Amino acid sequence: MDTTKKRYNAIDFLRGFTIINMIIFHGLFDLENFYGFNFNHDFYYYQQYICTSFILISGYSTHFSHNFKKKFLILTGLSLLITVGSYIFSRDDAIYFGIIHFFAAATLIHMLLKNFIKKINPQFGLIVNTILFITLKNIYYGSIFFNRFHLPKSFYDLNLFFLGFPDKNFSSGDYFPIIPWIFLFYMGYFLFYIIKVAKKEASHNFINVMGRHSLLIYFLHQIILIGIFSVIFSFS
């Protein structure tokens, strides 16, 4: 009997490539925000590429998950640690609803809706979620449909930041509310039915290995980066 572990190597590679770019991005962010560097460059689109990739891959990979309750509990625990840790390190940059918080919320939502979602035609689901994501992309800035329509201020007064309706005083060092990102998550979910990848013998390529341990790397990478930079700049 073949006991070799099979993996979706293409997904591991994409996830690993994205985690490498995330480490680079956060390294640049730390240097600019905590160590006085000025790169004189807007990294917004780089950041958007990274987070978009992660969320699409996460939605796609939902089909590989079985124990959603365990996944939800792990992500929720990590979210709390990230909030507390970021608050202690830098209160101004504390993370109250970052990408791991979003993944915890998306896992809970999928647990509740999975029996309904799986009945939806994949092409229809992909189209609808793409339209919703694009239309609502800037909802947490107070507008929708490419800033053409501004929503009433009353929508934001309750500070439902986790949904995508923060009040004017809310800030988070990393912010990925349920709306609009849940629609990108489900774009990835429905892409599974349209773009198929095959399981093969697990690759030991460095990028694939990082992809298989992306959650652990995400949780630890900022601690390691800050530690490295602290050592380097303590001698300067």
- DSSP for 141-190, written as a single string: GTEETTTTEEPPGGGTTT-BTTTTB--TT---SSB--HHHHHHHHHHHHH
Contact between 110 and 62 under an 8 Å Cβ cutoff? The reply is: yes
**Residue 184, class by beta-carbon neighbours within 10 Å (0-12 exposed, 13-18 middle, 19+ buried)?**
buried
Token pair 């929708």 in the structure block, residue:
144
How many C-beta atoms lie closer than 10 Å to residue 134's C-beta? 14
What's the pLDDT band for 92 if we cut at 50, 70, 90?
A: confident
- Name every residue whose Cβ is closer than 8 Å to that of residue 235 and which is 6 or more positions away in sequence: none
User: What is the residue-averaged pLDDT of the chain?
Assistant: 91
Token pair 């807007």 in the structure block, residue:
42
pLDDT (average), residues 165-191 = 95
What's the pLDDT band for 236 if we cut at 50, 70, 90?
A: low
**Residue 160 in this model has a pLDDT that exceeds 90:** yes
**Residue 94 in this model has a pLDDT that exceeds 70:** yes
pLDDT (average), residues 203-221 = 92
Residue 54, both tokens: 């992660």
How many C-beta atoms lie closer than 10 Å to residue 109's C-beta? 16
pLDDT (average), residues 220-232 = 89
CA 129 to chain centre: 17
pLDDT (average), residues 65-91 = 92
**Residue 4 in this model has a pLDDT that exceeds 60:** no
So what's the pLDDT on residue 3?
Answer: 43
At 100, the amino acid letter reads I
Nearest to 108 by CA among 178, 55, 164: 178
So what's the pLDDT on residue 1?
Answer: 38
What's the pLDDT band for 147 if we cut at 50, 70, 90?
A: confident
Predicted TM-score (pTM) of the model is 0.91
Residue 30, both tokens: 């730390």
Contact between 173 and 180 under an 8 Å Cβ cutoff? The reply is: no
Q: Count of residues for the chain?
A: 236
**Residue 2 in this model has a pLDDT that exceeds 50:** no
Percent of the chain with pLDDT over 90: 69
